[in-house]
Amino acid sequence: MNKSNHALFFLVATLLLSVLSCNTNDKIQAPSSLTVCEGFTNPIGFYDSHPTFSWQLPQAVQSQSAYALVAASSPELLPNKPDLWQSGKVRSDQSLYVKYKGEDLSSRQEVFWQVKVWDNQGNESKWSRKAFFELGLLHNNDWKAKWINLPDEKAVQVPEINKKVHRVQYLRKDIILDENVEKARLYITAKGLFQAHINGTQVGHDALTPGWTPYQKRIETLTYDVEALLKNGENTIGIELAEGWYSGRLIFRGYAEVDPQVIAQLEVEYKNGDHETFITDHLWSGTVEGPIRYSSIYDGESYDANFDMPAWSTNSFDDTEWTDVAAQSISENVALTPKRHHPVRAKLSLSTQTISKPAKGNVVFDLGQNMAGIPKINIPVKKGQKVRIRFAEMLQPNGEIYTRNYRSAVSTDFYMPVKDSVIEWQPKFTFHGFRYVELSGFDESFAPEKTWVTGLVQYSDFHMAGTFSSSHEKLNQLQSNIEWGLRGNFLDIPTDCPQRDERAGWTGDAQVFIPTSLFIADSHSFWSSWMQSLREDQRENGSVPIVVPDIDGRRTSAGWGDAATVIPWEIYLRTGDVKILEDSYQSMLEWINYYQSVSEDHIVDLFTYGDWLQPFSEHPTDERKGETDEKLVSTAYNARSVDLSLQAAKILGLSEDVTKLRSRLNEIQIAFQNHFFDAEGRVSKGKPTQTAYLLAIGFNLLSPEMEQKAIPHLIAEIEKAENHLRTGFLGTPLLAPVLEKINRTDLMFEMLYKESYPSWFYSINQGATTMWERWDSYTHEDGFHKGGMNSFNHYAYGAIGQWMYERIAGIKPIKAGYKEILIAPLPDGPLSSAQAKYNCPYGEVSSAWKMEKGVFQLNVTIPPNTTAKIVIPGKTGKNLILNGTSFSENADVKLLKKAMDTFELTVLPGSYEFKSFLTQKE
């Protein structure tokens, strides 16, 4: 080799080494989607001074081998001079719920944080963008303000609705700011409902704040950044105060014997560094002579424009005729704590689809979708002619609205005009469940228009997390109905229904629906918050109320109280957040110990609502309770709760508890089998219902030999019903998993696609746009169900959604938080395709399959820092196609086994397309 060739070789080698060196040292993309605790992004007024941190990896990164996290009191200190915490390089693949281990944090404190990671090849990422959170007022002694209200303002009888309601209070205070504002926070809450204003502008966009908690234990506070609303000089704070859940009429409790109050604290930091605090105290003034004459959760709101007070929350308003307020110090018995999930907001709007005139002077506007929220009306009115706004979920045969199922809830709004005009108005401190809006009292010289009524859909301010669709129109409608059932009942707490005189947090409905809800919606914080309320309302003997917050004060029920164990476990399984188990474990133990206290030889003798609203029930005293033996239901749920407590103890590393709980579970299983089943696997106590067998098999309460004997009896009960379900609230969620467990998914698909009563599609055929409380709440043939329980927005039967997502589309967690994912779709029935996407804690996971001309195609996406097991149907004697070519194992995809016309593979993060060839059966 001559010198020039040597030089050329050296140059090329040097350049190649340089490129390789650059590639090795290049930083990978930074982590993103930084959140704290249950998925909060840059929150202010945050509740947790011991937070956890989560992040997602870039799509190009398969897995994490290490991370470093820094936290500081100022963004300028990051990443090099963190004064609160620096983790150092931690060798771990953990990217969810990393516990803060830094300096103690206090009320009002701002924390800024960043994270970087190393991938599985050891490559270091850039630092993430800076995220932050700001704590709210964490302790009662942080409050200098006092509770205020107008003295002696009691509920009054309102003739037009024949109910007692508190009049809405208007409260105000003028303040002076001497300097330009750098930062301002309004901390506020109410015993009742509030809406704050500063200088004539509404503060925030939340509704029905502060929400509903066990008020005798805890009231949540809201924090608002109000710097932009303030000015140098004169300012005014105004607050509207309504009765809400705290002081209003509620089922079981009736009329409350307490009056609404509000407390607020405005903390201002000036640009010169000074601080000033303005509080609610005896120096405020108020009136009830404002335009909102009253507002009630159940009964609606009345607005009289003759009482309008223009600019009442500005400093130009004359309040000399107003009354001095009463002020009361904070009680140490009730904790004021920052709200720990997102408040209610108007999330969607629905336009009128059709207009009808069933009676003279009444016009009905059909929004086309049952919903929960409020109307926004834009109508012509005449001076002194009161507008009445009524609501309904359904129409009677004559076209008039059907309100019998609202029971005692008046659910009517009124508007009194001050002059002939076109008004735009919406109620503020109530909500309704409705599809139809009936207007009367408008100016009838105008022809009604669709623009007159818009539905504002209200629910807690979370994002929808999962989607599902298929080739089957009615299955897609079922999915829509499930989603709208969630939207209609996730209004600050999980309610049973949004329309009648109930709207309570029924624990049984909640525990059967939570798996479905966590797929549809990013409801992690929603459920965690409600579980804190459940723990607070749990009684000293360990019993759990039938509703939370507990407005009943008396009853508990098997299958309902088990929300104490089921919900924490489901939150953990689907989010990976172990904190919910840490927080709830003692409550779980107290519940199963309560079961034990009402048991004899492990057979539970406890009231239960049973398999609620089982169709064709012949219960001797209450047909709503279903026919399954009540002790069987209670004992089965005791075993279920002991099992979940056992699983929680394993996760928490409580080895002694694991041993004790495993022994207890084994004893209950033996007692259950011996007491409720004969030697041939038949139910021996009570009626041999579908639900009795489903509980026994679904909760693993029979020995393997006895389970095999019981299976034919379950099938016989289903066949006796001509392959229809005969299950209520507790049995229905078990149908799909049990029939899959015993290899009878063919039967489950047949039941799912049934068109006749009772079935999911039956209510769709009757016009359902949400989930109904009964399978036959309404029928074209017989009209409305005659029973008093007849809600057209009740999510319990939407629990089937879990199986639709996990098995029809095929996305299911194997390990908590979807750290390991099962993709195993079931192509069966009349479907030719199905697809689902879910934003799991690690990122988006998707599964989409279709069948065409004997070819099964599956497209999947697996998020970073996870792995997946994929089960694909197809002839194992033919080649599997991966991304367009014949399959062969590689670093990302490995074949586990071929068995029973399926391929089982493990895959690393990424997007893949598989094709297989189906057998004739498929």
Query: In the predicted model, what is the mean pLDDT of residues 614-638?
Result: 95
CB 853 within 8 Å of CB 481? no
Query: In the predicted model, what is the mean pLDDT of residues 834-854?
Result: 97
pLDDT at residue 674, as a whole number? 98
**CA-CA distance, 615 to 396, in Å (whole number)?**
24
Banded model confidence at residue 895, pLDDT cuts 50, 70, 90: very high
Of 154-158, 240-244, 783-787, highest mean pLDDT: 240-244
pLDDT at 237 over 60: yes
pLDDT at 483 over 60: yes
**CA-CA distance, 732 to 508, in Å (whole number)?**
13
**What is the rounded radius of gyration, in angstroms, for the C-alpha atoms of the chain?**
30
pLDDT tens digits, one per residue of 492-507: 999 999 999 999 999 9
> By C-alpha distance, which of 240, 231, 239 is closest to 268?
231
Query: In the predicted model, what is the mean pLDDT of residues 403-415?
Result: 97
- Residue 916 phi/psi, 5-degree rounding, is -135, 170
Structure tokens that stand for 421 in this block: 């005009």
Q: Which residues, 6 or more positions from 8, have their beta carbon under 8 angstroms from its beta carbon?
A: none
pLDDT tens digits, one per residue of 108-145: 999 999 999 999 999 999 999 999 999 999 999 999 99
Banded model confidence at residue 877, pLDDT cuts 50, 70, 90: confident
CB atoms within 10 A of CB 548: 30
Catalytic member of 220, 502, 630, 717: 502
Query: In the predicted model, what is the mean pLDDT of residues 635-652?
Result: 98
pLDDT at 729 over 90: yes
pLDDT at residue 899, as a whole number? 83
CB atoms within 10 A of CB 908: 18
Question: CA-CA-CA-CA torsion for 295, 300, 306, 308, nearest 10 degrees?
Answer: 50
Report the DSSP beta bridge partners of residue 193. 242
Banded model confidence at residue 920, pLDDT cuts 50, 70, 90: low
Per the annotation, the verdict on 773 as an active-site residue is yes
> By C-alpha distance, which of 452, 438, 455, 300 is closest to 370?
455
Q: Which long-range contacts (CB under 8 A, 24 or more apart) does 777-780 make?
A: 777/405, 778/394
pLDDT at residue 14, as a whole number? 35
pLDDT at residue 490, as a whole number? 98
pLDDT at 185 over 70: yes
Mean pLDDT, the chain, whole residue set:
95
Per the annotation, the verdict on 393 as an active-site residue is no
pLDDT at 731 over 80: yes
pLDDT at 787 over 90: no
First to last CA, the chain: 67
Question: CA-CA-CA-CA torsion for 308, 313, 316, 317, nearest 10 degrees?
Answer: 50
**CA-CA distance, 847 to 836, in Å (whole number)?**
6
pLDDT tens digits, one per residue of 670-726: 999 999 999 999 999 999 999 999 999 999 999 999 999 999 999 999 999 999 999
Report the DSSP beta bridge partners of residue 915. 857, 881
> By C-alpha distance, which of 753, 682, 743 is closest to 723?
753
CA distances from 4 to 15, 17, 466, 679 (A): 16, 20, 64, 94
- Work out whether strand 432-440 and strand 387-392 pair parallel, antiparallel, or are unpaired: antiparallel
The residue type at 321: E
CB atoms within 10 A of CB 152: 8
Query: In the predicted model, what is the mean pLDDT of residues 412-430?
Result: 98
pLDDT at residue 26, as a whole number? 64
pLDDT at 16 over 50: no
3-state secondary structure of 332: coil
pLDDT tens digits, one per residue of 346-396: 999 999 999 999 999 999 999 999 999 999 999 999 999 999 999 999 999
pLDDT at residue 211, as a whole number? 98
Catalytic member of 243, 590, 627, 773: 773
**CA-CA distance, 905 to 902, in Å (whole number)?**
10
